[in-house]
């Protein structure tokens, strides 16, 4: 078939950011998958609660302290996370490097407190269905934090190499920041489920 050139794309930018980037859309796609998974896990929690005679079943209400500390740490991490994203947007590599180290620490701290959170549930996963679902909710979100922490650590290391000075990699930093916000936001309904619904 004969071709006729009717458009010139040679002056288009070489890499789109935000909604002009496929990575941004792919991240959204995976967030939608994970959000559906979390919503279903919470639905399982509510379903089991609706058929249980007592809730929590054969266990005391979980301790508030570690979970609340994790929540506060996660909420506090949103501000530096926002700044890292801004610095990446402005291609300020020096600040991005520092910011990613800070975000790595802010990923490790909640994980350490999280270890105490499992004890604070005051029930084992194999005690009964209530114990199973709270461990599953907490376990799912812990996996979530670990995944994003690994991503942040790799990006932080990358920024200290020659590959850091690249709009494409800085776009990855922004997408990673978006994903961390998602990690924080998904925690809030789970926190409400595990700690506050039994107190209602």
Partner 1 sequence: MRDGETKRDIRDTDLDRPALEAALARIWNTPEGLWGALATVDHKIIGRRYVITAFVFLALGGVLAMLMRLQLAQPEARVLGPDRYNQIFTMHGSNMMFLFAVPVMEAVGVYLVPLMVGTRNIAFPRLNAFSYWIFLAGGALLWISFVLDMGPDVGWFAYVPLSGPQYGFGKRADIWAQMITFTELSALAVSVEIVVTILKQRAPGMSLDKIPLFVWSMLVTSFVVIMAMPAIMIASSTLILDRLVGTHLFNPAESGDVLLWQHLFWFFGHPEVYIIFLPAVGMVSTMTATFARRPVFGYLAMVMALIATGILAFGLWVHHMFVTGLPRLGESFFTASSMAIAIPAGVQIFCWLATLWDGKPIFKTPLLFVIGFIVTFVIGGLTGVMVASVPFDTQVHDTYFVVAHFHYVLIGGAVFPLLGAIYYWFPKITGRMMSESLGRWAFWLIFIGFNMTFFPMHLLGLQGMPRRIYTYQPDMPWHDLNLFVSVSSLILVAGFLLFFFDAIRSARRGLPAGDDPWDAPTLEWATSSPPPSFNFSYIPVVKAANPLWEQPDVLAVAGGLRINSRELIISTVASAEPEAREASPRNSIWPFVAALATTVMLISSIFTPWAVVWGSIPIVVALIGWFWPKGTPEDES
Binding site for partner 1 (CB under 8 A): 1-16, 19-22, 25-26, 29-30, 32-34, 36-37, 40-41, 44, 47-48, 51-53, 57, 125-133, 135-136, 150, 154, 158, 163, 166-169
Nearer to partner 1, 83 or 139 (CB): 139
Residues 50 and 35: their CA atoms lie apart, in Å, by 22
Query: Closest distance between partner 1 and the C-beta of residue 127, in Å?
Result: 8
- Residue among 112 and 154 whose Cβ is closer to partner 1: 154
Tell me the CA distances in angstroms from 49 to 36, 52, 132, 146, 167, one per residue in order: 20, 5, 12, 28, 49
Contact call for residues 158 and 173 (beta carbons, < 8 A): no
Cis peptide before 16 (omega within 30 of 0): no
Between 101 and 153, CB nearer to partner 1: 153
Nearer to partner 1, 61 or 128 (CB): 128
- Asked if 152 and 100 touch (Cβ cutoff 8 Å), the reply is yes
Rounded Cα gap, residues 25 and 17, in angstroms: 11
User: Based on CB atoms, which residue is closest to partner 1, 75 or 108?
Assistant: 108
CA pseudo-torsion sign 46, 48, 54, 56 = negative
């Amino acid at each position: 078939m004969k071709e006729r050139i009717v458009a010139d794309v040679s002056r288009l930018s070489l890499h789109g950011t935000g909604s002009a980037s496929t990575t941004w859309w792919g991240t959204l796609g995976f967030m939608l998958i994970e959000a559906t998974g979390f919503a279903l896990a919470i639905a399982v929690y509510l379903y089991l609660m609706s058929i249980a005679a007592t809730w929590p079943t054969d266990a005391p209400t979980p301790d508030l302290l570690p979970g609340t500390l994790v929540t506060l740490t996660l909420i506090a991490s949103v501000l530096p996370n926002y700044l890292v994203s801004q610095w990446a947007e402005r291609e300020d590599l020096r600040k991005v490097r520092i910011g990613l180290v800070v975000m790595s620490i802010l990923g490790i701290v909640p994980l350490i407190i999280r270890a105490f959170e499992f004890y604070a549930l005051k029930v084992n996963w194999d005690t009964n269905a209530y114990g199973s679902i709270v461990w599953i909710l907490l376990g799912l979100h812990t996996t979530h934090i670990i995944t994003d922490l690994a991503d942040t650590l790799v990006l932080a290391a990358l920024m200290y190499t020659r590959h850091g000075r690249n709009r494409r990699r800085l776009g990855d930093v922004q997408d990673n920041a978006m994903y961390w916000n998602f990690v924080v936001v998904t925690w809030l309904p789970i926190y409400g489920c595990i700690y506050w619904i039994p107190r209602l």
